[in-house]
Amino acid sequence: MAELKITAGNFNAEVIGSELPVLLDFWASWCGPCRMLGPVISELAEEYEGKMKVGKVNVDDEPELAGRFGVSSIPTVVLIKEGRVVAASIGYKPKEELVKALGI
């Protein structure tokens, strides 16, 4: 399953209302570390299909969502369970480190 594009319009349905945990990647196209993290996020989306949703939030397009999560540096990756942030990681990390940091 490809990553979901998360916007203010689908946030409540896809994230808050999700029965599965949701991994959100806050990113921007001009951000080098974000582009490095992109393939890692795609791998996680495939590996955890059916167990976890993986979404991407473009901070340039969705500044209100970034603000809601207090995102001041990108990439920022958060893990949400039952509508609440349970773990977060800021900056680029290799896949193994990211999985460990988020406890997934």
Q: Which residues are catalytic?
A: 31, 34
Burial class (CB in 10 A: 0-12, 13-18, 19+), 84: exposed
Q: Could you give the CA distance from residue 19 to residue 37 in angstroms, rounded to a whole number?
A: 25
Q: Residue 100: which residues within 8 A CB-CB, separation 6 or more?
A: none
Closest to 37 measured CA to CA, from 103, 99, 104: 99
Q: Which residue has the tokens 């490809």?
A: 2
CB atoms within 10 A of CB 21: 18
